[in-house]
């Protein structure tokens, strides 16, 4: 009866029944077969549960990864800053300057005033700058290019932010910046438009020039990252890093109104 040791209690119960030993053993065999069947039926259930758990874990991880990707792809949108340069009435608290660099040209010699009847109006009391503001600042020392003593560029990166350029697109804290100044242009034209209207043989710009990259730069407190609107004619924070707010002489408000 060694095959039925685990069924001793059941066998003893069967002994009280007036049946032959052969009948009792046959009953035990049925009981054993039944129990074995139950044990075997549990295995697929366990396997199914494991599969379901693995699939669920995979889905959760995939969703988390997708969520992270979506977060990274979320854009920072500047729909407040306009490309047009306003006309400003000059008050005693403001001052005006002439400017002769074409680093801000968006197709109409923007901010270039030398040789014209225009002057640029500066607010020296502006202290709180936001993304998209144009600032007038004392240019830092830069050994690889000549700079005017004072320069104009646009605020793109704020204190505490990480700025990166990938294939001609500005990213802020890994998020795409969507603004009229977030890609390289030539006289206001993006790459596709420029390459369509300009004969490549007569152009100084190629497709590669529009695909500029810049490694990540962190903007420290008390500084801002600035870019010229026309990248290829601009020397800015891509070259000399963020500028100190102490070197900013003021915010550019626009052109002086005609008197």
pLDDT digit string, tens, across residues 88-118: 999 999 999 999 999 999 888 999 999 898 9
Could you tell me which of 162, 104, 161, 112 has the C-alpha nearest to residue 133? 104
CB atoms within 10 A of CB 226: 25
3-state secondary structure of 135: strand
Answer yes or no: CATH 1.20.120.420 is held by domain 77-256.
no
Q: Could you tell me if 98 and 119 are in contact, meaning their C-beta atoms sit under 8 angstroms apart?
A: yes
- Please enumerate in sequence order all residues whose Cβ is within 8 A of that of 110, keeping only pairs 6 or more positions apart, or say none: 85, 104, 229
* Whole-angstrom distance, CA of residue 210 vs CA of residue 232: 9
Condensed to tens digits (0 to 9), the pLDDT of residues 196-238 reads: 777 766 667 777 888 899 999 999 999 999 999 999 889 999 9
Residue reference for tokens 């004969």: 199
Q: Could you tell me if 3 and 11 are in contact, meaning their C-beta atoms sit under 8 angstroms apart?
A: no
Which two three-digit tokens encode residue 19?
A: 């049946």
Domain definitions of the chain by residue range:
2-73, 77-256
pLDDT higher than threshold 80 for residue 44: no
Predicted local confidence at residue 193, as pLDDT: 76
Predicted local confidence at residue 191, as pLDDT: 78
């Amino acid at each position: 009866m060694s095959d039925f040791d685990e069924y001793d209690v059941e066998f003893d119960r069967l002994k009280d029944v007036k049946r032959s030993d052969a009948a009792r053993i046959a009953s035990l065999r049925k009981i054993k077969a039944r129990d074995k069947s139950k044990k075997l039926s549990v295995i697929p259930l366990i396997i199914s549960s494991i599969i379901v758990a693995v699939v669920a874990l995979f889905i959760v991880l995939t969703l988390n990864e997708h969520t992270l990707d979506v977060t990274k792809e979320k854009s920072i949108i500047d729909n407040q800053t306009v490309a047009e340069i306003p006309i400003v009435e000059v008050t005693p608290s403001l001052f005006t300057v002439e400017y002769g660099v074409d680093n801000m040209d968006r197709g109409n010699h923007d901010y270039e005033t030398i040789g014209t009847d225009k002057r640029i109006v500066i607010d020296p009391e502006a202290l709180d700058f936001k993304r998209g503001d144009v600032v007038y600042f004392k240019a830092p020392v830069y050994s690889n290019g000549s700079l005017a003593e004072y320069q104009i560029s646009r605020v793109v990166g704020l204190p505490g932010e990480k700025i990166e350029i990938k294939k001609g697109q500005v990213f802020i804290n890994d998020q795409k910046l969507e603004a009229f100044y977030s890609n390289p242009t030539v006289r206001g034209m993006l790459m596709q438009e420029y390459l369509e209207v300009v004969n490549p043989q007569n152009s100084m710009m190629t497709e590669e020039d529009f695909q500029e990259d810049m490694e990540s730069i962190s903007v420290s407190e008390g500084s801002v990252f600035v870019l010229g609107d026309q990248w290829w004619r601009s020397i800015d924070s891509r070259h000399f890093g963020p500028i100190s707010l102490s070197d900013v002489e003021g915010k550019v408000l626009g052109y002086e109104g005609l008197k």
